[in-house]
Amino acid sequence: MYRLFTAVDLPPEVAGRLAAMGFGLPGARWVPEEQLHLTLRFIGEVDGGRFKEIQAALDDVRAESFSLRLQGFGCFPPRGPARILWAGVEPTAPVAAIYRKVENVLVRQGLAEPEKRKFFPHVTIARLQGVPPAKLGNFLAGNNLYSSETFTVNQFHLYSSQLTNKGAIHYLEASYDLS
């Protein structure tokens, strides 16, 4: 079985600067620098045949390259104890457009069920468990002006993911160029 998702990679310098911010929150499990990405569509577990079909279907996604930057931080869920710390994405329109194209290809070809959750582009930087609210508030306030440099997105990728007791390990399965 393959656990699949599509994503946009961050340039190494952006990922490195973001990863360097990963301290000072007891109870935070920081995403390793090499695992930082912007998920477009989580597909889920599929067998080998379905994997090959998805890999081929994503060749039909047509989109133009675009500029992007990370800006600001926030948490999920919006109410109750925070479980995910994320970096925001600006502008969101080109990311949402490529998400819709990936979603349409997968659903139209019967390779995935329609996503029920609203798409909110972000980069997960930490998973939180029992983080003191005051410490989290201080982190968010102290980094509220965070903004990465602008970078060009000219590819998206299909990844498989293996869950381990230390977190997920991602494997690049295919890359798709944007025009």
Sign of the Cα torsion 52, 113, 3, 74 reads positive
Angle at 154 between CA 36 and CA 158, to 5 degrees: 55
**Amino acid, single-letter form, for residue 156:** F
What positions carry a catalytic annotation? 37, 122
Residue 115 burial (CB count, 10 A): 15
CA–chain centroid gap for 27, Å, is: 21
* First and final C-alpha spacing in the chain: 32
Query: 3-state class of 67 per DSSP?
Result: strand
DSSP state of 63: -
- How far is it, in rounded angstroms, from Cα 119 to Cα 97? 11
Tokens for 96, please give them.
């949402």
